Amino acid sequence: MSETPPSIGAMLTATVPMARTLGLEFTETTPERAVVRLPDQEEFHNHVAGPHAGAMFTLGETASGAIVLAAFGDQLSRAVPLAVRAEIGYRKLAMGPVTATAEIGRPVADVVAELDSGRRPEFPVNVAITREDGAVTGEMTIVWTLRPNA
């Protein structure tokens, strides 16, 4: 009987305390797209009873990490994925549960080819954060790198 490896969501929840603390829910994780949901929780509200900006940032960054692991998990024996920088724009008031949808902004094959050539590739992950009614409440770009192992 073979064991099924843990999902990326289960792995991140087990290894990243902040994802566990916020109770993030991983609803889709593929090399093309990651979708992570932040339930509405009063203990993480801001002064207007919506999700705190820091919780929304963590939600977006976590979705970006999930897609990076899905897309480059086969490269982990030779490189470590690291977030290099991030930018977020808060567009509309977020109320209730919010969902982050992440997509890689560069072809995975190009990133791996750059790693193969001995360079340290960087690539953006674009994230949209939405309310349940579909309104975009935030947009985020996280630039990641694959740092080759020494």
Q: Please write the tens of the pLDDT for every residue from 28-55.
A: 999 999 999 999 999 999 999 999 999 9
Residue 118 — very low, low, confident or very high, per pLDDT cuts 50/70/90?
very high
Name the percent of the chain lying above pLDDT 90: 94
pLDDT of 49 reads 93
Q: What is the pLDDT of residue 16?
A: 92
Angle, alpha carbons 7-10-12 (nearest 5°):
105
Pick the more confident residue, 3 or 63.
Answer: 63
Residues 6+ apart with CB under 8 A from 115: 75, 78, 79, 121, 146, 148
User: What residue ranges define each of the domains in the chain, with the CATH number in brackets?
Assistant: 8-148 (3.10.129.10)
Distance CA 119, CA 103 (A): 23
